[in-house]
Amino acid sequence: MKATAAPLDATLTVDASRRAAGRATAGPRDRKPLTWKKRSTPWVYMAPAMFVLLLMTVAPAIFIFYSAFRNDKILGGVGKFVGLDNFITAVTNASVQHAFLITFGFVAVAVILEMILGFALALPLAAQTRANKVGAALMLLPFAVTPAVAAMVFKQLLNPNYGWVGYYLGVFGFPNGIDLLGDPTSAWIVLVILDMWQWTPFVALILMAGLQSLPGEPREAAMVDGATSWQMFRHITFPAMVPFIAIAAVLRTIQAFKTFDSFKILTGGGPGESTEIINLGIFRVGLQSFNVGLACALGVVFLIILSLLIPFMLRVIGRRSDPEEM
């Protein structure tokens, strides 16, 4: 306890002296008041971007919120305000609850596996050798493939009658004509593998950049002190990488929640409703049945959950990046 108290006191002292210096050098009383023109200049510069943002993002979002409280149909008359009816339907429907649950399950499993595999790929590829540059370029290929195309290729590979996957599983003793998309467990495995194949390079790219930016001195000092590779990874590399891991995890989580193409093309939500993620449901309700109010309510519920989840993730990972918390 004593060992940590001293540096903490020192930090507080430094912060206090910085604040004092700040007041001494640039106190509010010493500043000349800005004219209206000068105050408005930054807003003028920002106006075009803010206008586009308002038009393309904020306005549709407001409209979605508005529609979620109404029973508007895309055709056939004007709808009316229905209060929370759409939200009650969205939250109490057993299929919707199931869809939310499996969506979270998919995101959790896929993102965790991609983070682990991405880190494992980034570690050896971070060294800037010619071979690694070629390896990194090749690794990015799946990331560049359109998700719908990747899913279509996977579907052909998985065809139990003439697909390569079934053939090679047969070579390894599995039954012939195995239908991986016809069983809920194997269908989930396929969907997670496809997601990992496509998005692990994205994670690896971020983590590789992070590893390359780390200073070498702490590792060199640790080597001199006789630290093992594991100890250096555990106590130096990993803590220093936490901010990069946080960025990759948050970006991947947001992307994974938006997954649609692979589920639509590979399983269509089947077998049964076992892979019916919420995005498939919103698509069907909104763009095939055109029940705009319910689709908007589903979207809003999804947005609220994500809005709570992402800051929570950042807080948890951010706390881990604080040396005091390690």
What are the residues binding other proteins (CB under 8 A)?
73-76, 89, 95, 159-162, 166, 176-179, 181-184, 267-273, 284-285, 287-291
Q: How far is the CB of 144 from other proteins (least distance, A)?
A: 24
Shortest Cβ 182–other proteins spacing (Å): 4
In whole angstroms, the minimum distance from the beta carbon of 156 to other proteins comes to: 10
Classify residue 318 as exposed, middle or buried by CB count within 10 Å of its CB (0-12, 13-18, 19+).
middle
CB 248 within 8 A of CB 311: no
Q: Smaller CB distance to other proteins: residue 90 or 121?
A: 90
How far apart CA 205 and CA 153 sit, in angstroms, is 24
d(CA 147, CA 194): 9
Nearer to other proteins, 25 or 288 (CB): 288
Instruction: Please identify, using beta-carbon distances, which residue of 169 and 236 lies nearer to other proteins.
Output: 169
Shortest distance, position 60 Cβ to other proteins, whole Å: 15
Residue 73: strand pairing partners: 291
**Closest distance between other proteins and the C-beta of residue 179, in Å?**
4
In the three-class reduction of DSSP (H, G, I as helix; E, B as strand; rest coil), residue 81 is classed as strand
| Cα 226 to Cα 82, 120, 123, 218, 219, distances in angstroms | 69, 24, 21, 12, 10
Q: Which is nearer to other proteins, 176 or 231 (CB)?
A: 176
Half-sphere exposure of 201 (CA within 13 A, CB side): 14
Strands (E), 42-163: none
Residue 118 vs 166, nearer CB to other proteins:
166
Burial of 89 from C-beta contacts in 10 A (0-12 / 13-18 / 19+): middle
Nearer to other proteins (CB atom), residue 117 or residue 179:
179
Residue 110: count of CB within 10 angstroms of its CB: 23
Q: Which two tokens stand for residue 67?
A: 């529609």
Instruction: Please report the sign of the dihedral spanned by the C-alpha atoms of residue 36, residue 41, residue 44, residue 46.
Output: negative
> Minimal distance in Å, beta carbon 166 to other proteins?
8
Least separation in angstroms between CB 290 and other proteins: 6
Pick 70 or 252: Cβ nearer other proteins? 70
